[in-house]
Amino acid sequence: MSILEKHLVQYGQKLIEFQLERKNVKNVNLNIQPDMSIIVTANSKVPIDFICEFVKGKGAWITKHVKNFENVQPIKQSKREYVSGETFKYLGKQYRLKVFVADEEDIVKYFRGFIYLYIKDTNNYNRKARLMEEWYREKAQKVFEKSLEQTYPLVQKYAIEKPLIDLRLMKARWGSALVDSNTILLNSELIKAPKHCIDYVVLHELIHFKHNNHSDDFYKMLYSLMPDWENRKAILDEETVRDL
């Protein structure tokens, strides 16, 4: 396992910190990670002064791309308490939570801008959390299945077999096409996005069963079937991510 060395270079009024990994590579390579850390890989023969100048020369590019990453970092919400007054997002809208003592079974419902949580023990935090998670997952399964039903006819003529839908909590992506098992894996957090954004993700993954890459042919097909896909993606990447 290689050791990462930490280094700093001055770029204008800013200090750029990067981690250097010595590898058997021909060129000096620089990558910005989603957590905004900067990784540089270079051959052991390349002098550190040369690498620092290389990073400094990339200063404008680094500053621009770090800002882009900052713009899509999820805002970390304070820990949920599951008490009346908290807001929860569902299909692109905010719903305020109302907690009541249940007369019969513990259950979650939503109606006219509110989510109602009925529970026998209103102080049982774990039970409240589990009820909300189960409610979200149940809604996600139904909404995602309906989205597939509505979206699949767009690609049916391309001899794409109708896939199954599966859910999983994913940190780095909204969906994934599992071609070998004919399954679309969707991020369960996607249920918090607007319906037309969910349709975009489903269609995106459906097209991967025809073009399992992001080639020109993939995007030509996406544009022809959903001309406004970029607007939908922008909402996911900018508005929705900030609220999740």
DSSP reduced 3-state for 165: strand
Give the percent of the chain with pLDDT over 70.
90
For residue 53, is it within any domain?
Answer: yes
Does 155 lie in the same domain as 119? Answer: no
For residue 128, is it within any domain?
Answer: yes
User: Considering its fold, how many domains does the chain have in total?
Assistant: 3
Q: Which domain holds residue 204?
A: 141-243
Please report, for residues 8, 84, 160, the alpha-carbon distance to residue 5 in angstroms, rounded to integers and kept in the order given. 10, 49, 48
**pTM of this prediction exceeds 0.75:** no
Does 149 lie in the same domain as 213? Answer: yes
Does 235 lie in the same domain as 154? Answer: yes
* Other Cβ atoms closer than 10 A to 150: 13
Does 52 lie in the same domain as 99? Answer: no
**Of 17, 36, 71, which marks where a domain is finished?**
71
Please report, for residues 42, 73, 139, 231, the alpha-carbon distance to residue 70 in angstroms, rounded to integers and kept in the order given. 26, 5, 30, 20
Give the pLDDT mean for 165-182.
Answer: 88
Does 237 lie in the same domain as 145? Answer: yes
pLDDT band, very low/low/confident/very high, at 244 (cuts 50, 70, 90): very low
Which one of 149-153, 214-218, 229-233 scores highest in mean pLDDT? 149-153
| Tens-digit pLDDT profile for residues 15-27 | 888 889 888 888 8
Residue 127 has pLDDT above 90, yes or no: yes
For residue 160, is it within any domain?
Answer: yes
For residue 76, is it within any domain?
Answer: no
Whether residue 45 contacts residue 56, with contact meaning beta carbons closer than 8 Å, is answered with no
Among 21-35, 208-222, 225-239, where is mean pLDDT lowest? 21-35
Given this model, what pLDDT does residue 129 score? 94
pLDDT band, very low/low/confident/very high, at 186 (cuts 50, 70, 90): very high
